[in-house]
A and B are shown apart, each in its own frame.
Chain A
Amino acid sequence: EAQVTQNPRYLITVTGKKLTVTCSQNMNHEYMSWYRQDPGLGLRQIYYSMNVEVTDKGDVPEGYKVSRKEKRNFPLILESPSPNQTSLYFCASSFADGYEQFFGPGTRLTVL
């Protein structure tokens, strides 16, 4: 089944404790991206990747890092999480930039 998977689905952590949210897709998509969803703000893009080893900042990259060492994986790293990063995070992939994006199930992160 074609899908985008994210782990963990729910995470509660404390300020400053490094964490990684994994994202994997099995559709051989070149384009992957991370979004955060906050009430009234819709989805805002954090980072995206056009291909392996090619990443770029989206609208709200501060406080986040990503890497794209393999085509299927695109982890999101929070080196020192803060409470304002409490949000719902979605990973997405698509055949190429500009095409339909397929979304993962979301990761609800709470930073205390």
Chain B
Amino acid sequence: AQSVSQHNHHVILSEAASLELGCNYSYGGTVNLFWYVQYPGQHLQLLLKYFSGDPLVKGIKGFEAEFIKSKFSFNLRKPSVQWSDTAEYFCAVTGNAGNMLTFGGGTRLMVKP
């Protein structure tokens, strides 16, 4: 069975600080990888996704993630966070053989103005 772990449960940063959220997965085959964001009181929205090709993926709002196959990782990064990035971030993975989407436990990010 596949699993996803997000190492940081809560992160507090000041505006303009750089962000990196860790995500590791366990799955033996080819994977599709996602980062979703949930702003306070809202539903989940897709930030970015990786299916194949360039392992450095760029998403919306200046976010990017790098797929490192050898480390089973898909870390999310942003060079300079803003107060409006305060949200909960979820990493998710699905295999390409009809497996279900599995989410990590989420990382709650608070950006102080």
Interface of A with B (CB < 8 Å)?
33, 35, 40-45, 48, 50, 58-59, 90, 92, 97-101, 103-106
Contacts and interface: CB of A to CB of B under 8 A. Distances in A.
Q: What 10 A-B pairs come out closest when comparing CB atoms?
A: A43-B103, A42-B105, A42-B103, A103-B44, A103-B43, A42-B106, A105-B43, A98-B94, A98-B32, A97-B98
Given A97-B94, A98-B32, A98-B96, A45 B44 contact: no
28 contacts: A33-B101, A35-B103, A41-B105, A42-B105, A42-B106, A43-B90, A43-B92, A43-B103, A44-B103, A45-B101, A48-B100, A50-B98, A59-B100, A59-B102, A92-B44, A97-B98, A98-B94, A98-B95, A98-B96, A100-B34, A101-B101, A103-B36, A103-B43, A103-B44, A103-B45, A104-B43, A105-B43, A106-B43
Contacts of B32: 98-99
Interface of B: 4, 6, 9, 32, 34, 36, 42-46, 49, 90, 92, 94-96, 98-106
A93 B56 CA distance: 26
Contacts of B46: 100-101
A109 to B, nearest CB: 15
A47 to B, nearest CB: 10
Contacts, number: 54
Contact of B9 (A40, A99, A101): A40
Contacts of A98: 32, 94-96, 98-99
Contact of B100 (A97, A100, A103): A97
A109 B32 CA distance: 31
